[in-house]
Structure 1
């Protein structure tokens, strides 16, 4: 009977990791796509995006969320490392993509710079939130038993008066 319970727990954790990575990838990928469009609008550049390109971005963000999602139920130090690994690889990819458009940013009009700065900071915030979101969703999908939370009734955990 215990082997069956371990098997179910393992399957649930794997499903939670995959679900957390996919959901975080979709949410942050959509945010990134909207921010990319906003940057192009500010620069007065064409804003047409292909469906294939959007799907590729969503898949990339889902794959990049795996380190954070896989460490969501680990000890705090490992959980933080997984979150920052996701932020580092996502940030590296975002920076490489941004460097490809650096010429357009360098040639931007002075009046466009404040808004471009705000959008860049928003993009950076999305990159940092990527790992945290993946861990949050994974923890919720995995359930309290996987995250080490106490499942005792409230009356048992409340301090005595």
Structure 2
């Protein structure tokens, strides 16, 4: 018979792995997004002005947006894919709506800088799509291997 600690221990371990996956994805993708934001601003011939508080806020937002992917990392494949795409959609919406504030700076950028800006925007899209994948990968790594079935009773008695 399993003890209460076994059932709740697995639940706590899973919740910790989800939280860890969210934190890892939030930090990695948030920092990548922050660097790309700075690069786009510089490529648009604007002055890049970022604060520590703003960076922490971005990391927090990217961590929160990673929750659907991390929470579905060990679910059935269709649910796992849905979690990844929900994260990608939410992240894409949040970054696109924030990016519209910088639209005039990008549109008024010198024409010779447009190829650089386009490459950076495509890189940003790649980071957005990778967000859910990273959250799920980190969660599965932190959760460890899936529990295995108990050995048959005869095998356990024979080895003992």
Q: Could you state the TM-score of these two structures normalised by the residue count of structure 2?
A: 0.89
2:68 match: 67
CA distance in 2, matches of 1:106, 1:2: 63
Q: Could you state the TM-score of these two structures normalised by the residue count of structure 1?
A: 0.89
1:155 match: none
Unpaired segments of 5 or more residues in structure 2? 152-160
Preserved CA contact (<8 Å) 2:24 2:138: yes
**Structure 1 residues 19-43: Cα deviation after superposition (integer angstroms, max 9, x where no partner):** 0001100000000000011111111
Preserved CA contact (<8 Å) 2:27 2:63: yes
**Post-superposition, which runs of at least 4 consecutive aligned residues in structure 1 deviate over 3 A?**
none
Higher-Rg member (1/2): 2
1:105 match: 106
The Cα RMSD (Å) is 1.5
Preserved CA contact (<8 Å) 2:36 2:124: yes
1:23 match: 24
SS class of match (2:146):
helix
Aligned residue-pair number: 149
SS class of match (1:101):
helix
CA distance in 2, matches of 1:22, 1:137: 9
